[in-house]
Amino acid sequence: MRVAFTHNLQRNKNEEEAEFDTIETVNAITMSLTALGHQVEPIDVSCSPAELVARLELFRPHLVFNTAEGRAGRFREAFYPALFDEIGLPYTGSDPYVCTLTLDKTLAKMIVAQHGVRVPRSIFFDTNSDMHEIPDISLPVIVKPNFEGSSKGITEDSVVDSYEGLRARVESSLIRYPEGVIAEEFIPGRDVVVAFIEGLSPDTKGVLPAVEYFFDDAIAGPRQHNIYDFNLKNVIAHAVKVKTAVGLSPKAEQALQRMASTAFRVLGVRDMGRADFRVTAEGEVYFIEVNALPSLDSGSGIYEAAKAIGAVDISAVLHAVVRSATSRRGLPLEPPTQIKTRVRRGARIGLTYNLKRIKPHGQDDDSEAEYDSPTTIAAITEALASYGHEVVALEATAEVLATIRKEEFDVVFNIAEGVRGRGREALVPALLELLDIEYTGSDPATLAVTLDKALAKQIVHQAGVATPQFAVWSTGAERLPKWVEFPVIVKPVAEGSSKGVGTTSVVRNEAELRAMAKDIIARYRQAALIEAFVGGREFTVGVLGEKRPRVLPPMEVIFCDKTETHPVYSFAHKLAGTSEVRYEAPAQLDPVLARNIERAARKSFNALGCRDVSRIDVRLDAAGTVHFIECNPLPGLTPNWSDLCLIAQGAGMSYRALIGAILAPALRRFRANARLTTSASGVDERRG
């Protein structure tokens, strides 16, 4: 089957992303599903809903394997199942209603209690609650968010034993979790988990043997309360072992199985789930919560529970989940080739490019630096074809207009850089607009603006993003700007791929400045950009999408030669095999800097009118302020080498997924236009 694996990729070890899947988990699930014989497309749902739908339509899955948690709101876990229902895609796991219900701890307890399941007494608080009149409740209590998982908001201090402490803890928790917190009677004892895999253990209707969390005191340190808090779950997870629960009385074991079975049934959990309990020293069992999107990382209790009944590895568990989902939806596990879906057939795609014929050997040989090699063209072609599309590679020569008209493409995947002039990158998109053919990437206006670094800086600066001070010289004899404080950097005003940028580009006095400017003007037959040198850390940022673009985690360009006082990311650095720079993707950033870089990249992308894909280069000054350097809306796409490809790898995206993400919005636009044409004329007039 074609299986789309939708997930939230964890990029930061902070509490906000605690429920997300690590890259190790994503890779393990992808490889296991692939080993089961499925064609798997991992899709990080951090993109906009429009991009997600476009990616799904591009892949045309038979089934969605969903672990996406969502980022915000009480409905977040339900959003993606609801979206899949709306577009008619079958998926694993519970439906939107169940995901909403189980995320609400108070409501879930209320429902299971009505069916004879023992629960601790709890009180719900939100920002409208009167904290002066707290109902009676047995102390101690544990205070925790009502709409969170992964032990978010739970620490040793969550357990309080006085009403004054309860009031203070609730008030502080509501600041972080204003949607609601609960104060729940604290049950001293053991954390025990009962997993649910609907496709396993028919005799118990998918309810698996209980497992328990054991904490290594040597790592975890002294603890007043035996609770599985956020620190244990997410910071020092190596201190936690999950093992089959031992030492439980027969009565407690029977109660766990009965309560878990009831909870999964009355809450409507499907395919997979996890129920959490507390068991006292006397063997009394209390239901705590149900998770309809249980963790599938390598150390999770769901795998340990499955081992107890003979499902010895991750593939066995995932196979059972897929089998359960396909069975209850009436889908064959191995669907016929012509299975009906609500998405369209593959498209006829033209791939426009400029072919690199000169292998550069140094900075002076950069005439074709922006062009693409046959290897890159082949890689893009293979990636596009893997989605079921017919691909025709088309070099953007003088005959390109006639060829495009003859071929009748649905969509053109454009990476053509053009041959000469300030409008060269805009040429192919302009021709495609003339022929009313949809294409990937930015429109001609944006491509012309971004190629002119000075104009791009003016636009981005007006949008509120810092840029270095600059001037444009056309002769080299112009008056020195008043703002100039050496060093400054000199480069061509309308080139990409670091053309014209090298170790001599940073000049330290007026004589060097004028000499370098004149050399640039003569060599590249264009004006020279004179720019204040920003000497801090350098980052490059990939941005994907349309109106609400997704900013990928930045990649840092780290200069290895610490004797270089004013390093620059040069054309020579971009040649394969250089040891003078290394790349860190994703970059190691504190949360504030990460947000500032993301904000600058998104603002720049939107201000310049970019679409589908761009790469934004930024530098920090001595104060840590993010400065826009330039935007490349036609970034290189050489696998395992081009900056954007390295950025995508660091974000957990395969090369195929990156190409698919660039193509998906263009396909969406093509299909939307086709529907409008059909609606207006009553006849489907699409090409092909």
Sequence ranges of the domains in the chain: 2-100, 110-324
Range list of H helices, 124-247: 163-176, 217-220, 230
Whether the CA torsion 130, 131, 135, 141 is positive or negative: it is positive
Residue 78: both structure tokens together: 């339900």
DSSP 8-class letter at 148: -
Q: Which residues pair with 542 in a beta bridge?
A: 615
Are the folds of 2-100 and 110-324 the same? no
Q: How confident is the model at residue 369 (pLDDT cuts 50, 70, 90)?
A: low
Residue 34 phi/psi, 5-degree rounding, is -65, -40
Residue 10: both structure tokens together: 């964890």
Please return the burial class of 247, using the count of CB atoms within 10 Å of its CB with bins 0-12, 13-18 and 19+.
Answer: exposed
- In the predicted model, what is the mean pLDDT of residues 358-365? 53
Residue 402: both structure tokens together: 């006639």
Residue 473: both structure tokens together: 């010289």
First to last CA, the chain: 27
Residue 421 has pLDDT above 80, yes or no: no
Rounded to whole angstroms, the Cα distance separating 355 from 368 reads 8
Q: Are 59 and 41 in contact (CB under 8 A)?
A: yes
Comparing 232-246, 607-621, 638-652, which segment has the lowest mean pLDDT? 232-246
Rounded to whole angstroms, the Cα distance separating 614 from 665 reads 14
- In the predicted model, what is the mean pLDDT of residues 201-209? 91
pLDDT for position 618: 97
Residue 363 has pLDDT above 70, yes or no: no
pLDDT for position 319: 95
Rounded to whole angstroms, the Cα distance separating 424 from 447 reads 9
Whether the CA torsion 332, 296, 11, 559 is positive or negative: it is negative
- Our CA dihedral for 242, 243, 249, 250, rounded to 10 degrees, sits at 110
Buried b (16+ CB within 10 A) or exposed e, 386-410: ebebebebbbbeeebeeebeeeebb
Residue 613 has pLDDT above 50, yes or no: yes
Q: Which residues pair with 613 in a beta bridge?
A: 544
pLDDT for position 542: 97
Residue 358 has pLDDT above 90, yes or no: no
Chosen CATH of 110-324 out of 3.30.470.20, 3.40.50.970, 3.30.9.10, 3.20.20.70 = 3.30.470.20
Residue 57 has pLDDT above 90, yes or no: no
DSSP letter for each residue of 154-179: --GGGEE-SHHHHHHHHHHHHHH-TT
Residue 364 has pLDDT above 80, yes or no: no
Q: Are 530 and 517 in contact (CB under 8 A)?
A: yes
- Please tell me whether residue 644 adopts helix, strand or coil conformation: helix
Q: Which residues pair with 184 in a beta bridge?
A: 122, 142
The 10s digit of each residue's pLDDT in 632-673 is 999 999 999 999 999 999 988 889 999 999 999 999 899 888
Rounded to whole angstroms, the Cα distance separating 254 from 361 reads 74
Rounded to whole angstroms, the Cα distance separating 514 from 521 reads 11
More confident residue, 652 or 458: 458
- Please tell me whether residue 414 adopts helix, strand or coil conformation: strand
Half-sphere exposure of 663 (CA within 13 A, CB side): 32
The 10s digit of each residue's pLDDT in 305-355 is 999 898 888 999 999 999 999 998 888 876 544 434 333 457 899 999 988
Q: Are 185 and 191 in contact (CB under 8 A)?
A: no
**In 484-607, which ranges are E strands?**
488-492, 506-507, 528-532, 538-545, 550-551, 555-559, 581-584
For the whole model, what pTM was predicted? 0.75
Q: Are 636 and 610 in contact (CB under 8 A)?
A: no
Rounded to whole angstroms, the Cα distance separating 578 from 72 reads 43
Residue 24: both structure tokens together: 């190790």
Residue 126: both structure tokens together: 């939100």
Q: In what order do the strands lie in the sheet with 181-185?
A: 122-125, 181-185, 141-145, 159-160
The 10s digit of each residue's pLDDT in 546-599 is 888 999 999 999 988 776 777 777 656 665 445 678 899 999 999 899 999 999
* CATH class name, domain 2-100: alpha beta
Rounded to whole angstroms, the Cα distance separating 514 from 24 reads 52
CA 73, distance to chain mean position in Å, is 18
pLDDT for position 169: 93
Cis peptide before 492 (omega within 30 of 0): no
